[in-house]
Structure 1
Amino acid sequence: MAARPRVLAIAGSDPSAGAGLQADLKTMFACGVYGMTVVTAVTAQNSRGVSAVWPVPPEAVAAQLDAVLGDIGVDAVKIGMLARADTVHVVADRLAALDVPIIVDPVGFASHGEPLADTDARAVLRSRLLPLATLVTPNLAEAAELAGVTVHEETDLELAAWAMKTLGPEWVLVKGGHLAGDAVDALYDGVTVRFFRSPRIATAHTHGTGCTLASAIASYLARGYSVPDAVGRAKDAVTAAIAGGFPLGSGTGPVDHDRLLDFR
């Protein structure tokens, strides 16, 4: 059996498995790659929200990174929740010399609005990690936080993508899923803006959508897809997963990661 591409997720743990590293691993398996994890924080969360966050000490994050990079290696990296500035520094230090796609999902807040990273962590992410990124995937709130651009309608997506690009990533994907109408995302490389559109799905069960999209993109990049093709395939796969979202608990249920198998 041929070795699968290796993708490393650096993020927080979600015990309900709707988001975080658990969603990353489910996504990576479905997309046909070998998923690995570095735990940056332990959270207490469920379908109703996040009730507590315990950041992992930076030396433990460094040791996990050294263990994976020093033995197994990686073909792509997906970065999610980084709660502390010293953790961001550790991750940036370890990834600076890597020549693989790095996808940054700049998680600042949980889907119910709870903060997942402090102000210093977001500042260091902006200055140290975004310049290393092959692709950064902010939603509208994250684009406003990082680049100072508020998106009110679809025509504002291009400006937000341009503002995010000035922070140093190679590509930017601004996710417009919280706008009215179709779910439209804007991909920008500093020259061309590409729009990816999908019909809005009437569902309350969208827990883990951002984690799943970023991990799917990282998986397809590890498999050799170009950035635009990886984004387009991941967008289609996640749209299918949202359509299959199901109730679990008393709040926002997860997307259906099994639907991603159709896009392996």
Structure 2
Amino acid sequence: MTAPATSSRPCVLVFAGLDPSGGAGIVADAQAVAAQGAHALTVATALTAQDNDRVYGVWPVDPELLLRQAQALIDKMHIGAVKIGITGSAANAQMIAQVIAGLRRRQPELPVVLDPVLASGHGDLLSRDDAAQALSPLLPLTTVLTPNGPEALALAGARPHAAPSDAQAQILRARGCRHVLITGGHGDGNEVVNRWFGPGAGPAFADPAASGQRVWRWMRLDGAFHGSGCTLASAIAGQLALGLPTAAALEQAQHYVYAALRDAYTVAPGQRIPLR
């Protein structure tokens, strides 16, 4: 009897919290990564008590437990990309930075996608420490940073409306982030405007090593969605793990997320769940 054919998938090492509602965090990440044709290796950074609207509590795991989870995977599996969501604590962020630094010694170009989740859509905190400050050791290791407007302001240390998105991106890139995609879902108007800043983001005829800006415009969909940021960052990580260039990964991931939000479903009143 002939053995069944097997196929392999590139792996994305995911650091994220457990959302019991299944709308965000590890569950959302695993679904979005799988939809790109990659496989998620999920390391729990925190346990949470939340539903599809509100976060009621966050309990970060011990940094040593985080390390043991990651090390068991790294020792056996090749990592094609890393995706980071909430870290739960500054100590966990520092441990994740150490893990990535170790991986980069073997894979200098390993893509790292950081979704800097500072709070839920209702403003509920997702870290025991100052979330923006806790992410400091991760920014210099980040290939693609995916903040929304308020997150970009907070990470850049700017007051609301004090600096345009290009100035925020310049500050974040100076702190080590190679690419910054500032999403516009928290804005107003009929369109969601996402802006990419980084090498190769300018016109096609520009020097690919130079920093530029590229803009995507998407029709704003009605309602609110749980885990849209997780979905985007994980989709980008999945595409990068497949070996796509950054521009193509950002393009494909945004098309995927738009379709997931357009076809979102309900599990309870409140925010809808993207169809990943």
TM-score by length of 2: 0.87
C-alpha distance in 1 between matches for 2:269 and 2:168: 35
Tell me whether 1:14 sits opposite 2:19 in the alignment: yes
C-alpha distance in 1 between matches for 2:166 and 2:218: 17
Partner residue of 2:143? 134
- Tell whether the 8 Å contact from 2:120 to 2:126 is kept in structure 1 after alignment: yes
Tell me whether 1:61 sits opposite 2:69 in the alignment: no
Secondary structure, in 3 states, of the residue corresponding to 2:135?
helix
User: How many angstroms does 1:145 deviate by?
Assistant: 1.2
Secondary structure, in 3 states, of the residue corresponding to 2:57?
strand
C-alpha distance in 2 between matches for 1:166 and 1:101: 18
- Tell whether the 8 Å contact from 1:138 to 1:173 is kept in structure 2 after alignment: yes
Tell me whether 1:28 sits opposite 2:33 in the alignment: yes
Partner residue of 1:247? 266
User: How many angstroms does 1:84 deviate by?
Assistant: 0.8
User: In the alignment, which of 143, 150, 161 is matched to residue 152 of structure 2?
Assistant: 143
Deviations 1:42-76 (A, max 9, x none): 11111231111111111100101111111113100
Deviations 1:212-242 (A, max 9, x none): 0000000000111111111111111101111
- Name the structure with the higher helix share: 1
- Tell whether the 8 Å contact from 2:11 to 2:38 is kept in structure 1 after alignment: yes
Partner residue of 2:111? 101
User: How many angstroms does 1:148 deviate by?
Assistant: 2.2
Deviations 1:11-69 (A, max 9, x none): 10011100000000111111111111000001111123111111111110010111111
Tell me whether 1:45 sits opposite 2:54 in the alignment: no
Counterpart amino acid of residue 48 in structure 2:
T
- Tell whether the 8 Å contact from 2:118 to 2:131 is kept in structure 1 after alignment: no
- Tell whether the 8 Å contact from 2:13 to 2:42 is kept in structure 1 after alignment: yes
Partner residue of 1:218? 237
Counterpart amino acid of residue 46 in structure 1:
D
Partner residue of 1:73? 78
- Tell whether the 8 Å contact from 2:267 to 2:273 is kept in structure 1 after alignment: yes
Larger Rg: 2
User: How many angstroms does 1:120 deviate by?
Assistant: 4.3
Partner residue of 1:208? 227
Deviations 1:84-118 (A, max 9, x none): 11111111111113221000111110122101124
Deviations 1:147-183 (A, max 9, x none): 0235659x92222222221211111111111112211
Q: Structure 1: 5+ residue runs without aligned partners?
A: 258-264
Deviations 1:227-260 (A, max 9, x none): 1111111111101111111221122121111xxx
Q: Percent identity, aligned pairs only? A: 38
Equivalent residues, number: 254
User: In the alignment, which of 160, 170, 185 is matched to residue 177 of structure 1?
Assistant: 185
Partner residue of 1:164? 172
TM-score by length of 1: 0.91
Partner residue of 1:117? 127
Counterpart amino acid of residue 175 in structure 1:
T
Secondary structure, in 3 states, of the residue corresponding to 1:256?
coil
Change in 2 beyond 3 A, CA 1:120/1:51: closer
- Tell whether the 8 Å contact from 2:14 to 2:40 is kept in structure 1 after alignment: yes
Secondary structure, in 3 states, of the residue corresponding to 2:79?
coil
C-alpha distance in 1 between matches for 2:88 and 2:111: 22
C-alpha distance in 2 between matches for 1:142 and 1:122: 8
C-alpha distance in 2 between matches for 1:169 and 1:226: 16
State the superposition RMSD in angstroms.
Answer: 1.7
Q: Structure 2: 5+ residue runs without aligned partners?
A: 1-5, 200-210
Deviations 1:116-157 (A, max 9, x none): 12444532412x11000111111111111110235659x922
Partner residue of 2:198? 189
Counterpart amino acid of residue 249 in structure 1:
A
- Is 167-176 or 216-225 further displaced after alignment? 167-176
